[in-house]
């Protein structure tokens, strides 16, 4: 197992999102990845790195690359903003093994990820950029160290869904890896729309990332996102 090295963690949650004035499309897909890096993740972190970097590379070549913006947040007992919303073209290879360790502040991570997604979405829409937002939460455990409650997350999602204009352009999916946790309860408690429970093998993680790629492409084409079935 990797040791805890928090030297390069960003505790100030400085998202530093891409400047809306510099966006040269009138519609974006904003994908948020909220990724568990607690100690148990060491078992499959190499597969996760490989699948995520493969996703980045393929989306950079995709016809929707111009409109795809990605934000990555890692969490264990601390939240680390790897990057705020940036064009997929500028996303570098990730190595989630660097910061492995600690507990699982799942609610905190989702809470901050959602808030940033909403703030940025509002900024973009006020400057004439229509936005579709997709939040992907990837975890292998239940929350055990958050300051925010599941209910605070639920309230944010409830508010989004109550707004007619954003209800169909905001999607949340929880990927529960392994069989250690009660992911269904976490999903319900946070009000996340979809849950997919998958294993931690390379093939299954690849399948999960493949589903994410497909969902992003579908949403870009104006189609709805369906619950993932593996």
**Residues at the interface with other proteins (CB under 8 A):** 21, 23-27, 125-130
Pick 16 or 128: Cβ nearer other proteins: 128
Dihedral angle, C-alpha 72, 77, 78, 81, nearest 10 °: 0
- Minimum distance between the CB of residue 51 and other proteins, rounded to whole angstroms? 32
- Minimum distance between the CB of residue 19 and other proteins, rounded to whole angstroms? 11
Pick 130 or 197: Cβ nearer other proteins: 130
- Minimum distance between the CB of residue 27 and other proteins, rounded to whole angstroms? 8
How big is the chain by its Cα radius of gyration, in Å?
16
Look-up of token digits 């913006």: 69
How far apart, in Å, are the Cα atoms of 38 and each of 88, 140, 184, 189, 194?
A: 25, 9, 20, 21, 22
CA distance linking residue 202 with residue 64, whole number of Å: 26
Pick 90 or 151: Cβ nearer other proteins: 90
Cβ(219)–Cβ(171) below 8 Å: yes
Pick 127 or 182: Cβ nearer other proteins: 127
- Minimum distance between the CB of residue 130 and other proteins, rounded to whole angstroms? 5
**Rounded to the nearest 5°, which phi and psi values hold at 49?**
-55, -50
**Rounded to the nearest 5°, which phi and psi values hold at 138?**
-120, 115
Pick 139 or 169: Cβ nearer other proteins: 169
Q: Which CB contacts under 8 angstroms, 24+ apart, belong to 12-15?
A: 13/79, 13/81, 13/112, 13/116, 14/81, 14/84, 15/71, 15/81, 15/84, 15/85, 15/116, 15/120
- Minimum distance between the CB of residue 41 and other proteins, rounded to whole angstroms? 39
Q: Where are the alpha helices (DSSP H) in 13-143?
A: 45-60, 106-126
Strands (E) located in the chain: 27-36, 68-75, 79-87, 130-139, 170-177, 194-198
Pick 165 or 229: Cβ nearer other proteins: 165
- Minimum distance between the CB of residue 26 and other proteins, rounded to whole angstroms? 3
Pick 52 or 85: Cβ nearer other proteins: 85
- Minimum distance between the CB of residue 222 and other proteins, rounded to whole angstroms? 13
């Amino acid at each position: 197992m990797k040791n805890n090295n928090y030297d390069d963690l960003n505790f100030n949650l400085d998202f530093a999102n891409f400047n809306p004035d510099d966006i040269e499309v009138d519609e974006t897909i904003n994908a948020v990845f909220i990724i568990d890096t607690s100690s148990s993740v060491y078992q499959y972190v190499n597969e996760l790195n490989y699948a995520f970097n493969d996703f980045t590379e393929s989306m950079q070549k995709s016809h929707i690359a111009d409109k795809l913006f990605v934000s990555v947040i890692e969490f264990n007992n601390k939240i680390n903003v790897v990057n705020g919303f940036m064009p997929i073209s500028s996303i570098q290879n990730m190595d989630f093994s660097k910061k492995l360790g600690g507990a699982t502040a799942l609610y905190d991570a989702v809470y901050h990820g959602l808030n940033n997604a909403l703030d940025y979405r509002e900024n973009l829409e006020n400057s004439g950029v229509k936005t579709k937002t997709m939040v992907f939460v990837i975890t292998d455990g239940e929350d055990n160290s958050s300051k925010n409650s599941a209910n605070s997350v639920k309230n944010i999602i409830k508010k989004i869904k109550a707004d007619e204009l954003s209800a169909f352009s905001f999607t949340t999916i929880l990927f529960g890896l392994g069989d250690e946790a009660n992911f269904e309860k976490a999903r319900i408690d946070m009000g996340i729309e979809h849950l997919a429970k998958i294993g931690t093998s390379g093939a299954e993680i690849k399948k999960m990332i493949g589903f994410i790629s497909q969902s992003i492409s579908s949403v870009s084409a104006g189609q709805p996102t369906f619950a993932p079935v593996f």
